[in-house]
Structure 1
Amino acid sequence: MFYKKLSYCVLLFIFLFTCLSLFSISRLRFDYNFDHFFPKHDPELSFYLKYREKFGNDNDYLLLALSHPKSIFDPVFLKKVDSVTQIISRLRHVERVQSPTTLSSPIIEAFGVFEVPYLHVNEPERYQQDSSTIYQSPGLVGTFFSADARSVALVIQTSPNLTKLPSDTLLINLKGKLHLVGLNDYHIAGKAVAQSIFVDRMQYELALFMSISIVMVIIFLYFTFRTWWGVVMPLMVVLISICWSMGLMGLTGTNIDVMTMLLPTIMFVVGMSDSVHILTQYVTEVAEGKPKTQAIITTLKDVGLATFITAITTAIGFLTLLTADIGPIRNFGVYTGIAVVVAYLLSMTMLPAMMLLMPLPPRTAPKKEAFTWPMLLRRLLLFVFKYRTRILVATTGIILASIYCISLIRMDTTLLDDLSDNDPVKLDFKYFEQNFAGVRPFELYLKAAPGHTLYDLPVLREVEEIEHYLTTQYGLKFIISPLTVVKTLNRAINGGSAESFQLPQTEAQWRKVQAKLKLFRKRPELNSLVSANQTEGRLSGKMGDIGSARATQLTDQFREFMRKQTNSTLLLTHVTGSSLLLDKNNDTLTRDLMEGLLLDILFIGAIVGLMFRSFKMIVITLLPNILPIVLIGAFMGITAINLKVSTSIIFTIALGIAIDDTIHFISKLKLELMSGKPLYYAVKRTYLTTGKAVIITSCILMAGFCTLIFSTFEGTFYVGLLISLTLLFAVLSDLLLLPILVVYFFRPKNKVPSKQPQKQIQVQ
């Protein structure tokens, strides 16, 4: 009676806490902000934030390409472009629009400044001359006009740091105006597009994967226990643990992003492990005829320590993600680690309470299972010991081959790496790479040395040399800087001729340009190029998304060029920008997470060492679980899967999950040895009793993670694929390699190891 009252109290407390968690979950929001993936404590981030305050964000813009099947120099088409330009400029969250129909070339004469449009939209008879002027003017082709004259591009400057809702509003209004005007062949790229699409897909995939995971888990649980309570009880444990952890996210104001979106799906499979081991042992105890209360107590004694250790090791695997310096990665590690601990606590409290209140499981099913599972596992164990030498030799060869394959892994990522190559959003971005300058921003901070300004001729010549290198060697297809302003002025003074778009050649010409600079100081585009005192400025450019590996190499070469060629007594520079930070992220994150993996290994080794007081047992336990990590690294090298943000987290997560089965094995082995059984017989008993739970939980885990391969996010796809493969390798390693390592190398203290021949293991 006491136990029943205690069970009701436990369930009532859990129910009340779950209600509070559901209230907190209602406060959760979806978010995808590129800034959150910047390294928080990197000095480069501090520099960029100060730079952004002075000159604005380098990705607060939208690119809009409008296409014509034949030629853009069509009166109807250009009038539509001009009309939509005027409409877009009046939309909310739009600060400025640069359009081919509003571009003009300034001409400075004695009476003042005249703006001569490049395109005379309402004068079709001048289109041929306009075309000639445009395609001879530097800076226009590839920026506003495609080389094949079939597309034009508009640059829409948006309000700073738009969040999801205003981004959606702007895009809906923009697309609506395009359809209203009749411009249906268009391409849009920019941060607002990526943010809107990512958040929408996160919401859809969160619901999809949770649904698939629930169905998969129900199927596996039913075929395992053949009872309704064997399905409902583990499912309730996992659902409530997810509810509590996400409620904590809502309470702390943490949003759901592309990383924490994985938490429910991962918990559906990871959190199920402890419940399955407990229920499997409980069914076995009941099948042996023990009363319900005694069966529950015995079950908790037998598997309690093992489930505690597996929960701790799995949580450590996620918590080691705290070594990363990226907010979404850290949040994912923290909240998933907490969810694992919560699932364990519920498995040890809520699950026994429900078992006590539920009717006894039928004994016929367990007897049938007991007949088939031991027979299967006995044959497998005999196979392992019969071919143990061959297994060890094959394992050694696989490790050596894997080490070579790991050397083939490349560290590389692109701006839209999470999207598949045929994704419409990614295709739009590629359109701008193929027809215009591209979407990858480049930023260079310029600072005149003391006693100089950025408009001094010697300083501008330094900038000109830098621009020449960036165009010819680095690969920038579009550049704007203080030098652009001066070249434009020189052209304006000389009647707008394309040949005059250069620095003045003589001192007299230079003084003439200097005298006209004040005419341009109030132009809005100059505010984001040069500071008011003319000592600080920016060089901004665009290029194709070449990937972080190539970009890092080019940036290192550019810095070396600057160190050797730039006169620091005239000009100081610093490469910065969001792209640089994302590139740097890849290198630092990979290093941090490899450190986290090492930390994970050390923690697990310490736990095993405390259990067995044996260094050999630490090696025996870790080797079957490091082997799957090595195999996954080899798989990545062979299949050319790059090491990046999404794939580098896999190793620490996989190790923390894969070690669980090994912990259950050695915990049971310890109990068998403590009861006085010889080593060989203890291994056999351990193999037969834990093998079923090991295989079932591994199948549930693999099936659950396999659901992620249907994601439209490439990173989520690889998380599902690679962790599923890791778990497959891990269960094979535990079943085939671990028993051999134990009997070959482990010698229990104060015990005489069994010298039974192999045939003695075949006791029925």
Structure 2
Amino acid sequence: MSVNRLVNKFEYALFRHRTLVIVAFLLATLFLLFKATTIRLDAGFTKNIPLKHEYMQTYLRHAQDFGGANNILISLCDNSGDIFNADFFDTLRRAHDELLYTSGVDRVQVKSLFSPSTRFVEVVEDGFAGGPVIPADFVANSIGLAKVKENTEKAGIVGRMIADDYSCAMIAAQLLEVDPDTGAKLDTINFAATLEQNIRAKYESDTVSVHIIGFAKMVGDVADGAKGVLLFFAIAIAVTSLMVLFFCRSVMLTVLPIACSLIAVVWQMGLLSALGFGIDPMSILVPFLVFAIGVSHGVQMINSTGKRVAAGMDAKTAAQASFRKLLVPGGVALLSDTVGFLTLLIIEIGVIRELAITASLGVAVIILTNLILLPVLMSFVKFSQRYKDHAAAPTPIADKFWFALSAFATRKYAAVVLLLTAGLFAFGYMQSQQLKIGDLHEGAPALHENSRYNLDTKLITERYAISVDYLNVMVETIPSACTEHSIMSRIDQFQWAMENVAGVQSAVSLASVSKTINAAFNEGNVKWRVLPRNTQSLVQASSRVETSTGLLNTDCSVMPVILFLQDHKAETIERVVLAAKKYGAQFGDEQTRFMLASGPAGVMAATNEAVAEAQQPMMWYVYGAVILLCLLSFRSLRATVSVIVPLYVVSVLATALMTALQIGLTVSTLPVIALGVGIGVDYGIYILSNMTQALREGAPLRQAYFEALKERGSAVLFTGITLAIGVSTWVFSALKFQVDMGILLTFMFVVNMLGAILVLPALAAFLWRNK
């Protein structure tokens, strides 16, 4: 049975039972609306990392002994510039206790001046003396505070737990993935809100400022900013509604496509909730894209129906004719979108996979809401005589415009267009080769530089000697390796080599600490700051280091080398990782392996590599899916080439734009290219479906393109411009990644439209010969 016969049978059944169809959609919408009200923002640390990457396998293997990369740093700063006063220490103690008993915090891993594990050791006349930095009998008077200050200097924690200028003190903690109180996965967004309420709101005052950073806090700030997305969604709906009203000059024809597109969003949210998914803050923009795609296809439907009503058909006959005409090209376009989004599932990062599911579900339901429900609803519309007269009125200006544009389907003008396109492609390709993988700026890239989170990050980085961006190289070796001089020496040499790599601010390991302790055993003489060669002395030096320091595990078979980086920019992480691999191979052997990586920068390194590895396969899969569906739809290689080439040129130009705007390829920006391809293919398929039908009937190419423009051109131009205006408002968002996506999507909406209007016919001019 041919496709046309199937479409005809489906159309007959659908419009024969119109009322039943509407009732079924109404019931489904009410049910999914109820489910949509239960959906919640869902963010998690492990969703943002490639768990199967070799670095993350190392990270997970040792997370229990050394903690993970999901940490929280809270810096309390005294506005007078000196923390050694009674009020500050009282505030610090209370903040420490508050964090210690906050649900979701690993209490063993909470570190501050008030932690019992924060100790000092000093060389005295009789040997060694030491104890907690803050003694049990501490009283916050001048004597007690002077003693604590002395102890902090002896402990060597100035620059780590105490700011270099003594203006701030740090509380650090590791977070658990599973909340021990409830047994449920830690609610990152709720935890961030708890920090704001129980730490910052309670302990920030005129004399003390509170600065909080860490993955959970960053996600919380992104979630707060994401609430503003609803405002932009409302603005987009308003702008789109006004544009549709201007386009069709009918309130009812404005309401129907907007309503069907909103129903698609409701279905998307309801299905996600029914399947047990939440919506990640990084995917918060996807519902708008679903709305935009729905409007795009809805405008094609009302445009087609309106033209047929103007030609003398009644509403039901016009809706049926439009359904027959648009079901196949619209269905192919939406299937291309869906399959293209599903290709994101190859990227083994949870947040991208959830985005793929969210986007593909939304686009799939548009097939039902905008290609089936919308024409059924339009069959009930009572078109006024005024509308019919207006729609049937001659349009000489529009026809002249479309006829002028149809000149691009002649070889004379097509050659110019293709030469310009080739030049732009060559320029874009050269620029796109400079695209960086990873973050290109300091701080959290999802937030603006002047956001509270990034300002807190800047303050902590400037006032402390350590960086918040650190990478752990895990040295996996034999048990009791800290008593083997040959192994400790290789660790020491590796650390020295890495300290001299550009971008590494400082480093620490059991080897470097043991050298300091060895000097202490020899009256603090710096000449003895070396690794002892005999086992007894080495045991003496390393046994003073507790496992709580994070420098060794219980049997000394794993000893991290902690590298503090200047920043987490893509170039810095790439340079350090390459050096770590080089020196790890140089100083390692079968017995001692230098394994990457843990720590926040280690997670970023793994994520950057996963994104880099997925970039090309993702594009191949996206374009492979679109090419296959175009071939099945048009059954023509020429038609497929005409659709795909402009699409690919725009993809290359989009990556060039990212390079120019210093937008790195990250977890949040990688899917944009796939989303742009999925949305952009719609224009070409609608235009070419009309063209190929006319060509099969024997029309010359220019005439075929002219007829396609009269039928589809206004809807294509309208949707491209309208959607671009809608996303362009994102430049005012509180979220930096939404600003970036807004710029990229505006570019792709407009340029994909121009590609379908100008480049597609220019290619056709050389692929089809006029009779």
Q: What is the TM-score normalised by the length of structure 2?
A: 0.87
Determine the C-alpha separation between the residues in 1 that align with 2:342 and 2:631: 21
1:439 paired residue number:
468
**Alignment partners' CA distance in 2, 1:89 and 1:401:** 56
The CA distance in 2 between the partners of 1:427 and 1:642, in whole Å, is: 21
Picking from 42, 47, 51, the partner of 2:62 is: 51
Q: Quick check: 1:698 aligned with 2:728?
A: no
Select the residue among 448, 452, 462 that pairs with 1:424: 452
- Specify which of 17, 20, 33 is matched with residue 44 of structure 2: 33
Aligned equivalent of 1:105, options 114, 120, 127: 120
Asked whether the equivalents of residues 104 and 115 of structure 1 are also in contact (C-alpha less than 8 Å), the reply is yes
Mapped pair 1:628 → 2:639: no
In 2, Cα distance between the equivalents of 1:245 and 1:88? 38
Write the mapping of 1:583-732 to structure 2, written as runs, cut at 5 A: 583-732=605-754
- Structure 2 Cα separation of the partners of residues 293 and 475 of structure 1: 69
- Counterpart in 2 of 1:759? none
CA shift in 2, pair 1:7/1:84, >3 Å: closer
* Secondary structure in structure 2 of the residue aligned to 1:709: helix
Give the drift of 1:131: 6.0
Determine if the alignment matches structure 1 residue 283 to structure 2 residue 311: no
Give the whole-Å Cα distance in 2 for the aligned partners of 1:601 and 1:116. 62
Question: Are 1:151 and 2:190 counterparts?
Answer: no
Normalised by the size of structure 1, how large is the TM-score?
Answer: 0.87
Contact 2:133 2:151 in 1 (8 A): no
Q: Is the 8 A contact 1:321 1:329 kept in 2?
A: yes
Matches within 5 A, 1:104-123: 104-107=119-122, 114-115=130-131, 117=133, 122=140
Shift of 1:438: 1.8
Partner secondary structure for residue 646 of structure 1: coil
Farther off after superposition, 280-289 or 31-40: 31-40
CA 1:460–1:664 in structure 2 vs 1: closer, same or farther (change >3 Å)?
same
Structure 1 match to 2:215: 191
Amino acid at match of 1:124: S
Question: 3-state DSSP class of the match of 1:575?
Answer: strand
What is the identity, as a one-letter code, of the residue corresponding to 1:438?
A: S
Amino acid at match of 1:154: I
Please report how far the alpha carbon of residue 584 of structure 1 lies from its aligned counterpart in structure 2 after TM superposition: 2.5
Distance 1:546 1:712 in 2: 22
In structure 2, do the counterparts of structure 1 residues 491 and 126 end up closer, same or farther at CA, with 3 Å as the change threshold? farther
Instruction: Measure, in 1, the Cα distance between the counterparts of 2:37 and 2:234.
Output: 19
Q: Secondary structure at the match of 1:445?
A: strand
Residue in 2 aligned with 1:394? 420
- Structure 1 distance, partners of 2:394, 2:358, is 37
Q: Which moved more, 1:110-119 or 1:382-391?
A: 110-119
Match of 1:757 in 2: none
Answer with 324-333 or 438-447: which moved more. Answer: 438-447
How far did residue 219 of structure 1 move? 1.1
- SS of equivalent to 1:273: helix
Taking every aligned residue pair, what percent have the same amino acid on both sides?
20
Which whole-Å CA distance do the structure 1 matches of 2:762 and 2:531 have between them?
81
Gaps of 5+ in 1: 748-752, 755-764
Secondary structure of the residue that 1:353 maps to in structure 2? helix
Q: Structure 2 matches for 1:268-417, cutoff 5 A?
A: 268-361=291-384, 362-368=387-393, 370-382=395-407, 387-413=413-439, 416-417=444-445
- What residue identity is the alignment partner of 1:115? G
1:243 counterpart (266, 269, 281): 266
Distance 2:508 2:134 in 1: 19
1:758 aligns to what?
none
Look up the equivalent residue of 1:12 and give its one-letter code.
Answer: V
Match of 1:66 among 59, 71, 77: 77
Deviations 1:265-287 (A, max 9, x none): 11111111221111101000000
Q: Distance in 1 between matches of 2:430 and 2:55?
A: 35
CA drift of 1:644 comes to 2.3
Which one is further off, 92-101 or 212-221?
Answer: 92-101
Tell me the secondary structure at the aligned position of residue 131 of structure 2.
strand
Is 1:228 aligned to 2:251, yes or no? Answer: yes
Could you tell me how far apart the structure 2 residues matched to 1:392 and 1:90 are?
66
User: Is the 8 Å Cα contact of residues 441 and 579 (structure 1) preserved in structure 2?
Assistant: yes
495, 510, 526: which one pairs with 1:467? 495
Distance in 2 (alpha carbons) for counterparts of 1:151 and 1:431: 10
For 2:624 and 2:13, the matched residues in 1 are separated by: 43
Task: Tell me the SS of whatever aligns to 1:645.
Answer: coil
Summarize deviations over 1:655-691 as a string: whole Å, max 9, x none: 2211211111110012222334233322221222221
User: 1:345-383: CA deviations, max 9, x gaps?
Assistant: 222321122112221252133235845432332333347
Question: Is 1:255 equivalent to 2:255 in the alignment?
Answer: no
Conserved 8 A contact 1:268-1:704: no
Do the aligned partners of 1:139 and 1:478 also contact (CA within 8 Å) in 2? no
Q: 1:58 deviation in Å?
A: 3.1
Contact 2:408 2:762 in 1 (8 A): no
Structure 2 unpaired stretches of 5+: 1-11, 179-185
The one-letter code sitting in structure 2 at the alignment partner of 1:363 is K
SS in 2 for 1:61: strand
Secondary structure at 1:363's aligned position in 2? helix
Counterpart of 1:169?
A: 194
CA contact under 8 A between 1:194 and 1:425: conserved in structure 2? Answer: yes
**1:141 equivalent among 144, 155, 158:** 158
Q: Which amino acid aligns with 2:131?
A: E
Q: Distance in 2 between matches of 1:144 and 1:480?
A: 15
- Contact persistence 1:60–1:159 (CA under 8 A): no
Pick which of 385-394 and 548-557 moved more.
385-394
Deviations 1:553-599 (A, max 9, x none): 21111221122134654x33312215323322223224324322222
Bigger shift: residues 731-740 or 459-468: 459-468
Q: Which residue matches 1:213?
A: 236
- Matched to 2:427, the amino acid is A
Query: Residue 185 of structure 1 aligns to a residue in which SS?
Result: strand
Report the Cα offset of residue 336 of structure 1.
1.4
Opposite residue 540 of structure 2, the aligned amino acid is V
Q: Work out whether residues 323 and 593 of structure 1, in 8 Å CA contact, stay in contact via their aligned partners in 2.
A: no
